[in-house]
């Protein structure tokens, strides 16, 4: 009861009378002595995940809502670890193949517990990464989500690949390129196995790998990855897509860094034309491309 009250699933008034949400009542009624702990943790996770969606990084006042729920996530994760509910094996030891459909974890009720915890941790990680700017806490939440999804879905699942991608982006943002590259490559392999070679998520994986190479100053490998992303995006999305435009912009940026200004200008021009056609002139991609035009002209001495 104290645990339910702690996470706002039970309210107690001044007279000592307790009130319980109907969903919580259904969960508690089904508890058995054997299943009580994991089901309770799953219930907490299922409630907290949507609550974390109530904050917005564009509305500073909602920060306090997100912080409160994110702190509750930390408490649930700690309790799940203590009770042995959350898997603690690292992903490399988890194994498994063939993912189920999203929301249908393998292993029945146990799989659902893992999936609920994973979704909760993902939402908390987003808050820590983009709102409260606590990268280490965000990374911890994402690692918990990864372990949970592997336990719930198996090793080959789009949500598992997404966790590797998130981890790679977090490492790259902190300048830890070697770790970032390893995580993105894991995500790429799973995406190819699960989704096939021609899918926009596969294209995104190539883009992320290229971004890490670019951060490292390895422009040749960055160019190769961006070009792979471009080819897939064109096949999957067609030529008139913002993702295709962004691929051209990325390739142009690499050419600019290499000093190949003619090719850089060509890529930026294609990017602008696609973006203007798809989204109009009020677009950040267009603005970025015009800035790149200016940088190239300046490097060429064409003031």
Domains of the chain: 239-303 (1.25.40)
Three-state SS at 257:
helix
Percent of the chain at pLDDT above 70?
A: 71
**Distance of alpha carbon 116 from alpha carbon 113, whole angstroms:** 5
* 96 has a pLDDT exceeding 50: no
Regarding predicted confidence, which is higher, 270 or 46? 270
In which residue are the tokens 């203007």 written? 276
**Cβ atoms of 251 and 230 closer than 8 Å:** yes
Is pLDDT at 167 greater than 80 in this prediction? yes
- Tell me the β-bridge partners of 59: 56
Give the count of beta carbons closer than 10 Å to the beta carbon of residue 185.
16
Query: What distance in Å separates the CA atoms of residue 58 and residue 47, rounded to the nearest whole number?
Result: 23
Q: Is the pLDDT of residue 133 over 90?
A: no
Q: Is the pLDDT of residue 128 over 80?
A: yes
C-alpha gyration radius of the chain: 23
């Amino acid at each position: 009861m104290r645990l339910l009250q702690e996470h706002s699933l039970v309210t107690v008034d001044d007279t000592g009378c307790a009130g319980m949400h109907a969903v919580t009542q259904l969960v508690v009624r089904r508890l058995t002595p054997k299943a009580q702990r994991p089901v309770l943790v799953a219930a907490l996770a299922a409630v907290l995940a949507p609550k974390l969606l109530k904050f917005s990084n564009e509305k500073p006042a909602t920060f306090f809502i997100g912080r409160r729920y994110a702190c509750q996530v930390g408490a649930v994760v700690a309790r799940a670890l203590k009770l042995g509910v959350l898997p603690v094996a690292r992903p490399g030891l988890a194994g498994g193949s063939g993912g189920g459909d999203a929301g249908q974890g393998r292993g029945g009720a146990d799989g659902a517990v893992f999936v609920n915890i994973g979704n909760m941790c993902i939402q908390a990680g987003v808050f820590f990464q983009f709102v409260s700017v606590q990268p280490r806490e965000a990374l911890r939440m994402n690692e918990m989500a990864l372990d949970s999804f592997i336990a719930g879905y198996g090793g080959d699942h789009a949500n598992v690949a997404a966790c590797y991608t998130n981890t790679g982006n977090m490492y790259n943002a902190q300048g830890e390129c070697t770790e970032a590259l390893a995580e993105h490559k894991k995500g790429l392999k799973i995406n190819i196995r699960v989704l096939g070679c021609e899918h926009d998520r596969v294209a995104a994986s190539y883009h992320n790998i290229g971004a890490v190479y670019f951060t490292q100053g390895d422009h040749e490998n960055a160019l190769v990855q961006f070009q792979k992303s471009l080819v897939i995006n064109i096949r999957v999305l067609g030529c008139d897509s913002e993702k295709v435009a962004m691929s051209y912009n990325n390739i142009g940026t690499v050419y600019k860094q290499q000093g190949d200004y003619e090719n850089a200008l060509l890529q930026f021009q294609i990017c602008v034309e696609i973006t203007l056609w798809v989204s109009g002139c009020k677009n950040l991609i267009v603005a970025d491309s015009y800035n790149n035009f200016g940088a190239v002209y300046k490097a060429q001495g064409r003031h």
